[in-house]
Amino acid sequence: DIQMTQSPASLSASLGETVTIECRASEDIYSNLAWYQQKPGNSPQLLIYDANSLADGVPSRFSGSGSGTQYSLKINSLQSEDVASYFCQQYNNYWTFGGGTKLELK
């Protein structure tokens, strides 16, 4: 199994701030990585696929980067509607997920 280690587990940030969440894979996943946002009571929403491709309808303040085993999700100019949990998922070999990051407003 490919293990996905996501950090931090929780994060507190101010409106307008830039936030970065990271995922580390236990082996090279060749950019086969997606990021999702999940708000309480809602289903996960795809944000990023193929490590850096923005899904349809996702604001451009979200971006993804990385390669090999190290990946990150960046949110520029944090908005109140970005308060949510975020998780990564690899699809290089079956599917495994990161542990999630809960983002709150400071």
Length of the chain: 106
- 46 part of the interface to other proteins, by CB under 8 A: yes
Neighbours of 85 (CB within 10 A): 16
- 30 part of the interface to other proteins, by CB under 8 A: no
- 86 part of the interface to other proteins, by CB under 8 A: no
The token pair that represents 93 in the structure block: 């070999």
Residue carrying the six token digits 């993804």: 64
Site for other proteins in 61-80 (CB under 8 A): none
- 89 part of the interface to other proteins, by CB under 8 A: yes
- 36 part of the interface to other proteins, by CB under 8 A: yes
Q: Which amino acid is at 28?
A: D
